[in-house]
Amino acid sequence: MAASSSVFTASPSRNFASVPLHQSLSPPLLRSSSVAFRPKRRSSSLLLCSTDETKSTAEKEIPIELRYEAFPTVMDINKIREILPHRFPFLLVDRVIEYTAGVSAVAIKNVTINDNFFPGHFPERPIMPGVLMVEAMAQVGGIVMLQPEVGGSKSNFFFAGIDKVRFRKPVIAGDTLVMRMTLVKLQKRFGIAKMEGKAYVGNSVVCEGEFLMAMGKEE
């Protein structure tokens, strides 16, 4: 097949013997003076890696005690004591960090070696009892229920049952137990409420389940 004369046909007067071998084998387009050199663009993946490395370096320069913000306080322990009837050693909620009236609450329990259940559970391997995790979550549920939006009263409010409870990981001294309780069904006529709860340590779910709450009639 004949090639285009505008590209491959040389002038009759051109002496090919004087043309270096590497030029004679090069595509004519690359030898054209009309083609400008364009630098390669940096790959976006390289830019991302560079940004991540810079961010990582910046984080390392910040002391670890200054890297993380404290949990917010929506309700402190004094407000919690006004709502819940529980007292030492059975008040298992330290702070409410998020609250949506009549819908949900997120609260924390700071687990320390000074908690009175650790000497017996267990002396050689202190682990927070699962039943106390469930109780702590139920107390967070009580904070949602014992509000005017729902109509509960601490004189006639009861933790009535649990279902589908799973314990995923052990909770130990030094952990911060973060508990979210959400009201999913309320039957005021019968004084029954269903709630769903999850408890976390860091990003890991350590306990979850469904809770049944009961509200008696005011006398």
Active site residues: 121
H helix count then E strand count, the chain? 6, 6
Residue in the structure block whose two tokens are 């924390």 = 108
Comparing CA positions, the residue from 175, 176, 173 lying closest to residue 114 is 173
Is residue 173 within 8 Å of 127, Cβ to Cβ? no
Which residue stretches of the chain are H helix?
5-8, 21-24, 28-31, 44-61, 77-83, 130-145
Sheet holding 204-215, edge to edge: 95-100, 104-110, 176-187, 192-201, 204-215, 157-167
80 exposure class (CB count in 10 Å sphere: 0-12, 13-18, 19+): buried
Amino acid at 20: P
Distance of CA 49 to the CA centre of its chain: 23
